[in-house]
Structures are given as C-alpha cells and as structure tokens.
Amino acid sequence: MKINAIEPAGAFWQPGDKFPDDLPQIAFAGRSNVGKSSLINRLLGRRKLAPISSSPGKTRKIHFFKINGAFYLVDLPGYGFTRLPLKVRDKWRALVESYLEGNKDLRGVVNLIDIRHELSDLDRQMLLYLGEKGIPTLIALTKADKLGYARRRRMAGSIIEELGGSVTLDQVVVTSARTGEGCDSLLDAVADLVAPPGKS
C-alpha cells in the first residue's frame, strides 16, 4: 500500500464521543517504550506526525489519522508505563477498552512488541484480550535494527513459540523504524484488513 494522503483528524475520544465518520479503523497498541510513535511516523513518511518523547507515556489521548481518504490509523495510548500513578493508568485502560469494545468500525489492531525482549505479562494480557474479543491482530516486532540477524531470528521464533499457536507466522512482521525494514509488509497487511470483503 502506498500512502498518498494523510489528514490528522484529532487527538481525542472519550467514552460517548462520536468517531470522525464511519471509515474503517486500524489501531496501533503497545507498551509505552516500544517505539510506537516512531514506527507510525516511519510508516506514514512523516517525522513528527505521531508525538514522540524521550519520556515514555506521552500519548495520553487517542489520535486519529485519515489515510488516503479510505481508513483511519488510530494511535492508542501506550500501556504499562509504571512510573505513572495507578489512577492514571486505570483511566487509560478504561479509555482503551471503551474504544475497542463494540467498535463496529475497527478492522484490527497492530500490537507492537520489542523484539529484544521476551513477552511481558502486559503484552500477554493485551494479546489475550484481543483474542477473547475476536479482534483481528497483527504483531509488529519493533527495533529489529538493534539485533544481529541470527539473534533477531531466534527472538522472533521465541516470541511466536511463546504465543502457543494463538498467532500464525503471517500475522507477525519484523520491523525497524530506523531502517524501514518490514514497513512495506506491515502496510500491505493493514491494507488487507481494511479492504472490502473479496477485494484484499
């Protein structure tokens, strides 16, 4: 998929708010330090579109970006930033769950996982939650440029094995926001999710 047009559609959404319109949505989720904003910016070819900070946890709202006039890429608040007060983390969790549940326009979630580390409990909880809700899920393994090729393959295999058959190999994409590795493949997988039935 080629990105031809990007329209920021607001940083908002609270339970009860209306979506910008009824176009399909693909949400990006992940831990607060997984490099989500960097990968989104690389995918969309914009350096400062999604907010990036040296302090993880900056994204506290849900950001909507209209892509090619056809669908929304939705940047969800990062999960698992333990330095924030519990009350704030609980509020974020309630916000994200309210967005995900019963959203007829949501076509899938891209869940980002740092390839350098084993799955965290929060990663497992998020993937289990998405599976229980029947939400189509892609897994983007981020920061691949930080590892050599052999270790990257071992870590990717380990993560897939640990998921115990809950995902298939074609749901997993190894990516790097710095080099652009895997970005075309991830965009193509997103295009398949938002394509009308029979046109993917």
CATH code (residue 49):
3.40.50.300
Q: Is the pLDDT of residue 59 over 80?
A: no
Q: Are 5 and 69 in contact (CB under 8 A)?
A: yes
| CA 111, chain centre distance (Å) | 4
Reported as a single tens digit per residue, the pLDDT across 4-18 is 888 887 666 566 677
Domain assignment present for 83: yes
Reported as a single tens digit per residue, the pLDDT across 177-186 is 999 999 999 9
Q: Is the pLDDT of residue 113 over 90?
A: yes
Domain assignment present for 1: no
Domain assignment present for 200: no
Q: How many domains does the chain fold into? A: 1
- The rounded distance, in Å, linking the Cα atoms of 200 and 150 is 33
Domain range holding 123?
6-194
Share of the chain above pLDDT 70, in %: 82
For the question of whether the overall pTM of this predicted structure is more than 0.85, the answer is yes
